A and B are shown apart, each in its own frame.
Chain A
């Protein structure tokens, strides 16, 4: 087809740019003009309805949520530290399941709030709701002083698993330590995804929330069912081997001022509590004289300290290698990849997304530039995440290699959920009761 004539010959770049700006401005004007149309004039008494705008739940509920959270935390703390009553804790668990779980449908929960906080830190235009801030920080503060009493009976996710645990089997110690790395990886990935604005992984893969809502996509319902069945034989699999908030709480709990104790006064070394904990949180006494000589210990420590930076950098590097894959969590990156594929002709299959993008009439060039930027952010982010993983893993190894002298049976604050099962198994508890 021959082009007859053209208005815009060859123009300098700035002129093209200017034209583009003017065009956008005019397009807006034109669109406005196009929208002007005559309204029907009704002769009958017809009243034109207005679009209704029903409100969501009001502020009241949010304040109630926060109040209930604080109240339950206080109760859980009292029950675990003072009353030392498994029964009371269990009742509280059921309350949490009903209120935060089925009534408030599991949203918002402290676990997910990590992402909102992260997003808010990295995205100035995102405002976190007050509830989310409270749900994030109050359990942490409680844990800093009283251990993981939040997990004991306030967390609805913990409650589900606590509730269905029938025949706890012991997870071998080493294995549980290795699997214990998973929550750290999950935390790192979730923070990375939230910081880059890609997605909220924790909410997306929350296995129990679909249960609380009694609706959800099929695969998530399936996942939830799977977890529930698993929870009958393995104590709190989600809490121990996935929950990212549990990682934070575990660390905070290590610093806690007051600790949940098996026996608050004396341990008579009766070993009755040894198998009472379904979560493997009870540490056995460690004899005073370590089997190995001090010299080997020091040598190993030195080797580990030298290896640490290497391992950490290696982790950083290897995770950063995966950033193209990881960055596909972001919608824009996925879309840009598809558009590039279509433009270069390496696929003739369009997707709903790419068709939607074309319908919007936006510039693919800008999209691709944006995607490249996001991907670069992912590269930095995955370096940081990798280094973080490295540090945590090395920390674990160091911790394992340093044998610490321990006299009595103690609950490890990092992994103790404060469920109170061991209280009853301790003969001292009964004696104290009798003394009263």
Chain B
């Protein structure tokens, strides 16, 4: 072959080869520009970063439960807290020292203490009743096949919230069913509970009336012991005054002053409302929790202290008004 053509050919081929090889190497090793952001991101950041100016609470400490998977929390007025971590039970005294308490039969989903300090442990389909010193008094098993007990509150009577049947049972202390509360009833103008997730919290207020959360409707509902709907409030909104997502609030607690502390999932927020639904304060905002934290059970302590069970960080976090570090 003609030498001149041959040399041109060689050059051409060498250039081509280096282009191809360069391409291979480059595309193998480069960080592709723009590959670092998701064009379809579901962005909650603007809501998570909500203004913290009007938060008057601050975290003043925490009770460390490292290694435990926390499942339920309630206040034992005058004596501290009772905490469930699966089927392990703990007590926390007034100066926040932890001691192990009785072992439960199965994972505890909810719990309550009555004025005589008897403790009621809600399992999936039964309730265990214990004396203050931890001896078993009774086990209630009269719940139906598809029951999923998710909330319990104890006053003169004991109320048990069954998420599976979307109803609250009022029982006496011996475990006899007295009434069913909250079933859909157009005559009594009761809308019925909508429980899309697994949360169905209830509490008894000082006057013996019942508060229940209706998460699917983003409402708190106030019932008389006979099951009449006294009031209800709450509306869906990502903004601070509403309840976010599709099933919120998840948990709530009543403060000694009669205010209502609520917790939400999705946008993890803790807020205080007046009994008629007016937003009083924000206690904690999403930025203070790990994203995706669920199960923020609450208890209200003395002197305005709010205890928040944080399963993601395995601790009970303490929030107090005013005092900032």
| A touches B (Cβ under 8 A) | yes
Chain A 20-42 per-residue mask, 1 if CB under 8 angstroms from chain B, else 0? 10110011011001111110110
Most buried by B among A7, A19, A38, A234: A38
Q: Are B9 and A172 in contact (CB under 8 A)?
A: yes
Binds A, one of B29-37, B152-160, B277-285: B29-37
Q: Any chain A CB within 8 A of the CB of B98?
A: yes
Give complex CA distance A173, B19 in Å: 21
Question: Chain B residues with Cβ under 8 A from A20's Cβ?
Answer: 67
Instruction: Select one of A33, A219, A328, A349 contacting B109, CB under 8 A.
Output: A33
Q: Are A5 and B20 in contact (CB under 8 A)?
A: no
Chain A: minimal CB distance from B19 (Å): 8
Q: Any chain A CB within 8 A of the CB of B62?
A: yes
Q: Any chain B CB within 8 A of the CB of A318?
A: no
Q: Are A170 and B9 in contact (CB under 8 A)?
A: yes
Question: Chain A residues with Cβ under 8 A from B62's Cβ?
Answer: 1, 3-4
Q: Any chain B CB within 8 A of the CB of A407?
A: no
Question: Chain A residues with Cβ under 8 A from B6's Cβ?
Answer: 170, 172
Q: Are A328 and B29 in contact (CB under 8 A)?
A: yes
Q: Any chain B CB within 8 A of the CB of A171?
A: yes
Give complex CA distance A250, B207 in Å: 92
Q: Are A352 and B35 in contact (CB under 8 A)?
A: yes
Q: Any chain A CB within 8 A of the CB of B139?
A: no
Q: Are A1 and B325 in contact (CB under 8 A)?
A: yes
Q: Are A8 and B59 in contact (CB under 8 A)?
A: no
Report how many residues on chain A are interfacial, defined by Cβ distance under 8 Å.
Answer: 48
Q: Any chain B CB within 8 A of the CB of A305?
A: no
Q: Any chain B CB within 8 A of the CB of A325?
A: yes
Question: Chain A residues with Cβ under 8 A from B103's Cβ?
Answer: none
Contact flag A349-B36 (CB < 8 Å), given A34-B294, A38-B165: yes
Q: Any chain B CB within 8 A of the CB of A373?
A: no
Q: Any chain A CB within 8 A of the CB of B54?
A: no
Closest chain A residue to B16, Cβ basis: A230
Q: Any chain A CB within 8 A of the CB of B10?
A: yes
Question: Chain B residues with Cβ under 8 A from A328's Cβ?
Answer: 29
Give complex CA distance A57, B164 in Å: 42
Number of interchain pairs (Cβ within 8 Å): 123
Instruction: Select one of B63, B71, B124 contacting A5, CB under 8 A.
Output: B63
Binds A, one of B193-201, B217-225, B235-243: B193-201
Q: Are A30 and B66 in contact (CB under 8 A)?
A: no
Question: Chain A residues with Cβ under 8 A from B166's Cβ?
Answer: 38, 41
Q: Any chain B CB within 8 A of the CB of A331?
A: no
Give complex CA distance A19, B314 in Å: 13
Q: Which size class do B's interface residues fall under?
A: 35 or more
Question: Chain A residues with Cβ under 8 A from B19's Cβ?
Answer: 226
Chain A 176-196 per-residue mask, 1 if CB under 8 angstroms from chain B, else 0? 000100100000000000000
Chain A: minimal CB distance from B321 (Å): 16
Instruction: Select one of B9, B10, B86, B196 contacting A26, CB under 8 A.
Output: B86
Q: Are B107 and A29 in contact (CB under 8 A)?
A: yes
Instruction: Select one of A2, A7, A172, A234 contacting B10, CB under 8 A.
Output: A172
Give complex CA distance A234, B14 in Å: 13
Q: Are A8 and B64 in contact (CB under 8 A)?
A: yes
Question: Chain A residues with Cβ under 8 A from B198's Cβ?
Answer: 34-38
Question: Chain B residues with Cβ under 8 A from A172's Cβ?
Answer: 1, 6, 9-10
Q: Are B318 and A4 in contact (CB under 8 A)?
A: yes
Q: Are A30 and B69 in contact (CB under 8 A)?
A: yes
Q: Any chain B CB within 8 A of the CB of A126?
A: no
Q: Are A3 and B64 in contact (CB under 8 A)?
A: yes
Question: Chain B residues with Cβ under 8 A from A304's Cβ?
Answer: none
Q: Any chain B CB within 8 A of the CB of A283?
A: no
Question: Chain B residues with Cβ under 8 A from A2's Cβ?
Answer: 60-61
Chain A 218-242 per-residue mask, 1 if CB under 8 angstroms from chain B, else 0? 0100010010001000100100011
Give complex CA distance A27, B67 in Å: 10
Chain B: minimal CB distance from A335 (Å): 12
- Which residues of chain A from 76 to 125 have a CB within 8 Å of any chain B CB? none
Instruction: Select one of A7, A23, A29, A171 contacting B64, CB under 8 A.
Output: A7
Interchain Cβ contacts under 8 Å between A and B, 21 examples: A1-B60, A1-B61, A2-B61, A4-B64, A4-B318, A7-B64, A27-B69, A29-B107, A35-B198, A37-B163, A38-B148, A38-B163, A38-B164, A38-B166, A38-B198, A171-B9, A172-B6, A175-B10, A175-B14, A234-B13, A352-B35
List residues of chain B with CB under 8 Å of any chain A CB.
1, 6, 9-10, 13-14, 16-17, 19-21, 23-24, 27-29, 31, 35-38, 59-69, 71, 85-86, 90, 96-98, 107, 109, 124, 146, 148, 163-166, 195-198, 291-292, 294-295, 311, 318, 325
Task: Name 5 extra pairs, CB < 8 A, besides A6-B64, A38-B148, A325-B29.
Answer: A23-B67, A33-B124, A36-B198, A171-B9, A219-B23
